[in-house]
Structure 1
Amino acid sequence: MFRNDSPAPIPRQKLRQLLLALTLCCALVAGGTACGAAPAKSGEDVKAAAVAEQTPKPTSSAKQQEKQKFAKTRFVANAGLAAGAAYQWIVKPARDGKFKKGAKGRKFTLIKAGLAGAFAYNRLKAAVKNAQGDPLLAKAVAPLAAGIESLKDLPSKLRKGNGAEDASGVFDSVINSVKDAGKDAGAPVKEKVPSLSELRGG
């Protein structure tokens, strides 16, 4: 006798209940994924965010201070080179009598003095420009502009030996005034003797 072992059909009502339960489960899972929290950040991301939040952003005041510091540094460098060149090849030779007629090596000494004079003038002009970045330094240097400009024609006189001693006195006076102004503004100038190649480059 034939025996039917296939499972009994699921009643229609129970089938509807199962389908409804399955639909609700899918909806809940999908909603949880879509509306859940954003993916958790890694430890490195969290640390980087914390550092960025704690790192202070540069303020306009800090930028201004940095600008002034840079201006003083450049001023000191240029004024120092001018002072070194003027002393080494103009003031010192004049004091030693090397500009006088008949002095040994006078011609070569005067040529170097002329180069040093042009170099010192250019460096002092650059120093004055640098000083504009710092209000206190700019105010201290402003009265010296005319004196610095008076040096412009002296290098040619030094090269020719015409009034070399007087020219050395003018350079000495102007350089000392620049040093005093720098000191008063918190930018003390130290002499730095340039090389002969630097003199030729201006």
Structure 2
Amino acid sequence: MASTFPIRRIVVAVVLSCAVLVSTTACGGETRSTQSAALTAAESSPSPSASAERQKLAKTRFVANAGLAAGAAYQWIVKPYKAGKFKKGAKGRTFALVKAGLAGAFTYNRLKAASENAKGDPLLSKAVAPLTSGIESLKGLGGKLRKGDAGDADVGMFEKMINGVKDAGQKAGAPVKDQVPSAGQLSGG
């Protein structure tokens, strides 16, 4: 009989733990609304360091997004194009075109994010503003690359936009370095 006593304690402990877990989960909705109200109140009241911190984060995010865009464009679009991997009959052409298409879409996405990040910093926003229409023009180039319809002008446009964003970052005190994204990042994972 002494051996069943510890098992009873374990069963009671498990049942009580489950009851506590279920009751706290059930009350989670009220807590979230209270938390969101507190966050809204905290966000609406400006703090002295809020704008400086927001500007710092804007530059950091801009550098990260622009660096990933530059790395993807150079690694999977510009280099293979200059090596002749997109030409008909080239070994590995189909795979290179698929990667270039993914890289084109990824580059467009990261450049859009970088231009949005730039809006949080006055210097960056002024430097990147002239490039926004050029970034928009890259929208369909990912599909064009994937189909094998891209030419010198299309690849040159990627290079021009990347260099423009890098120069704008450099002028605003946010130097951009190429960062080659992982395959998971490139495919949207």
Count of matched residue pairs: 144
- Structure 2 match to 1:113: 100
- Structure 2 match to 1:86: 73
Larger radius of gyration: 1
- Aligned partner letter, 2:93: R
Provide the secondary structure at the position in 2 that maps to 1:201: coil
**TM-score (ref. length: structure 1):** 0.69
Matches within 5 A, 1:46-125: 60=48, 62-125=49-112
1:159 lines up with 2:146 in the alignment: yes
Structure 1 residue 59: Cα displacement: 5.6
Provide the secondary structure at the position in 1 that maps to 2:187: helix
Structure 1 residue 197: Cα displacement: 1.4
Q: In 1, Cα distance between the equivalents of 2:97 and 2:152?
A: 11
- Structure 2 match to 1:141: 128
Provide the secondary structure at the position in 1 that maps to 2:160: helix
Q: In 2, Cα distance between the equivalents of 1:64 and 1:77?
A: 20
1:191 lines up with 2:171 in the alignment: no
Q: In 2, Cα distance between the equivalents of 1:180 and 1:194?
A: 21
CA gap of 1:73–1:188, structure 2 versus 1, over 3 A, is: same
Q: In 2, Cα distance between the equivalents of 1:180 and 1:139?
A: 12
Identity within the alignment, %: 69
**TM-score (ref. length: structure 2):** 0.73
In proportion to residue count, which structure has more helix? 2
Q: In 1, Cα distance between the equivalents of 2:186 and 2:150?
A: 21
Structure 1 stretches of 4+ with a deviation exceeding 2 A read: 163-166
